[in-house]
Structure 1
């Protein structure tokens, strides 16, 4: 154990060479669609997005009800928000962030195994696209790597979004460290309870998801590791592995936290961004598709965190790093 800690510390010391990118995402609070805002507030939001080179915002617009609907009263100001983003921050994709607790072994809220529920989810998605949203961002949890219903939902949603020239993105848990371990967990552990089979995507499942969507956001945060070097290794490893695995197929956002996790002395925004940059350094070549970080979340990110993000992640204003994402109109 001491050797592992020492090795991680030595690995962590060199300053990363990689610069950040201009393709980045932000998870945003529900109040943007559920409560009224002034024109000045919309302008301030647009200025924040542009200053921090945020290209995609996942505005929380759900959650889904058990039948796949979202009451209109929950997003009564969504159309006004989307119009303001398009007016004051042109080029930024405002996506409807929708999800729910997936029913597993009788526990949860929404049962995606029921075809009628999936059909209603698609109808709800269409209603949000009618409001002007640039895409649909799913966050269903838990998702296990044998979840055929989830893949079927992605197939249907992709048909909907691409028919309208919009984006489909999905948030997933951090992938497995060892795919072989998943079969052991599945055989020995239940899917619910304190000691449960962890819902981690295997390489094969992640490839299947990537073939069906335009963007994948990996929820890399909440690592619960005791040192900064180990937490940094975690972010580096998932950055490198995910970009090598699907970075040529789909835009990847690596999730970084601005909230205070349980072990905030080890895991914080600075450590996460440094780890992501180390992971990029270790790539043999850059991926073919755009990539960046996903900031979680706007309601926990203050001026100090945004300043730290700009200083440690963004490239200089005159430096362009990688292509920017566009709507998938040419697919």
Structure 2
């Protein structure tokens, strides 16, 4: 077994236009002061990172690593969630996702998808230059609007959606394989890959691609009322990234999983700072240690109540408290005694004559 690494911090919810969140150097100092050991960098945020330059220049990548090292940090992973979402956008969401699109691609969905695919391939090459083996993403969502439709879904609609999804992602997975990077899909509501069943469908359609893996975030399982501990038992061999994010689900007579179109603070299911929600992190960290998870434990802070500065400081301490330093010996070794093969046979009542008769 190997002790998992952490704490790392996902920067997507922290980067911004004002210090200390306006540059990689500034946020590195801030994160180190909070107790983090690594940063998970969103590849789409040019305030922090230039993915095109990183894909082409080892010097640039060394400078990025050097910036973090000055503050005692390293890069845990790159993430490509925005690009991944743009690989497969249902037309209902076109207008909203144009906000994340370069101006010259506005109103051009096919060109936008082609651009996003290339950005993920650049991020994979950048990951390799940075010495990283895992990269996070979203699957996109061609089928999500038809999750619970009326009238009912026509036969073949979901098959067609997933066939197209696999067709778009297979070349990206192949590109990741060429540079030795695992692509880890965050299992997330609003994505076509939102639970075990949907992941299995996709995984089969991409030929059980070895680079097709999972980013595990238990908060999204709470909101779906899905057994996240059993999920770890089933899919631990595919889980290569881990977001430490908390949530709670408190259904009432007025609302449940769907939330009644309420704001986050008024929903039955809502995200909380780690330790303030209902996720059983003791069991999660125990299972990850048992299954020899060798990646990072990365805080993703999202909370409808708590200040992000407090959430980050508490989150780093929380992860440190939950990481299990795995043992290098069996606890009852002290009571063991050497026993010969002859003694073992004797303990079982197996005489040499009896063994010859069996042979």
1:138 Cα offset (Å): 1.9
Structure-2 change in CA distance of 1:107 and 1:303 (3 Å): closer
Query: Residue 137 of structure 1 corresponds to which residue in structure 2?
Result: 136
Is residue 249–residue 288 contact of structure 1 (8 Å, CA) maintained in 2?
Answer: no
Query: Residue 92 of structure 1 corresponds to which residue in structure 2?
Result: 75
Q: Give deviations 1:1-37, integer Å, cap 9, x for gaps.
A: xxxxxxxxxxxxxxxxxxx953565431388599963
Match for 1:125 among 120, 123, 134?
A: 120
Paired with 2:287 and 2:28, the residues of 1 have a C-alpha distance of 38
Unaligned runs of 5+ in 1: 1-19, 64-69, 73-77, 175-196, 224-230, 323-331
Unaligned runs of 5+ in 2: 54-59, 99-106, 144-157, 248-262, 328-359
Q: Alignment partner of 2:290: what SS?
A: coil
Query: Residue 308 of structure 2 corresponds to which residue in structure 1?
Result: 302
Is residue 222–residue 261 contact of structure 1 (8 Å, CA) maintained in 2?
Answer: no
Root-mean-square deviation (CA, aligned residues, Å) is 5.1
Match for 1:206 among 199, 203, 208?
A: 199
Structure-2 change in CA distance of 1:307 and 1:204 (3 Å): same
Query: Residue 262 of structure 1 corresponds to which residue in structure 2?
Result: 265
Query: May I ask how many residue pairs the two structures share in their alignment?
Result: 256
Q: Alignment partner of 1:173: what SS?
A: coil
Query: Residue 240 of structure 1 corresponds to which residue in structure 2?
Result: 229
Q: Alignment partner of 2:320: what SS?
A: coil
- Between structure 1 and structure 2, the one with the greater Rg is 2
Paired with 2:52 and 2:179, the residues of 1 have a C-alpha distance of 23
Q: Give deviations 1:113-132, integer Å, cap 9, x for gaps.
A: 96x76654343234343485
Which is bigger in relative contact order (C-alpha 8 A, separation at least 6)?
A: 1
Paired with 1:160 and 1:96, the residues of 2 have a C-alpha distance of 16
1:95 Cα offset (Å): 0.5
TM-score (normalised: structure 1): 0.54
Is residue 255–residue 294 contact of structure 1 (8 Å, CA) maintained in 2?
Answer: yes
Where do 1:166-185 residues align within 5 Å? Answer: 166-173=181-188
If each structure's helix is expressed as a fraction of its own residues, which one has the higher value? 2
Is residue 140–residue 191 contact of structure 2 (8 Å, CA) maintained in 1?
Answer: no
Q: Aligned pair 1:44/2:30, yes or no?
A: yes
Is residue 256–residue 295 contact of structure 1 (8 Å, CA) maintained in 2?
Answer: yes
Q: Give deviations 1:73-95, integer Å, cap 9, x for gaps.
A: xxxxx966555236645553241
TM-score (normalised: structure 2): 0.51
Match for 2:89 among 103, 107, 113?
A: 103
Paired with 1:280 and 1:293, the residues of 2 have a C-alpha distance of 11
Where do 1:63-82 residues align within 5 Å? Answer: 81=64
Structure-2 change in CA distance of 1:305 and 1:120 (3 Å): closer
Q: Aligned pair 1:22/2:24, yes or no?
A: no
Query: Residue 182 of structure 1 corresponds to which residue in structure 2?
Result: none
Paired with 1:298 and 1:59, the residues of 2 have a C-alpha distance of 16
Where do 1:246-325 residues align within 5 Å? Answer: 246-254=235-243, 256-257=245-246, 261-263=264-266, 267=270, 268-271=272-275, 275-277=279-281, 279-280=283-284, 286-290=290-294, 294-297=298-301, 302-315=308-321, 320-321=325-326
Query: Residue 57 of structure 2 corresponds to which residue in structure 1?
Result: none
Structure-2 change in CA distance of 1:31 and 1:313 (3 Å): closer
Match for 1:57 among 40, 43, 65?
A: 40
1:269 Cα offset (Å): 2.3
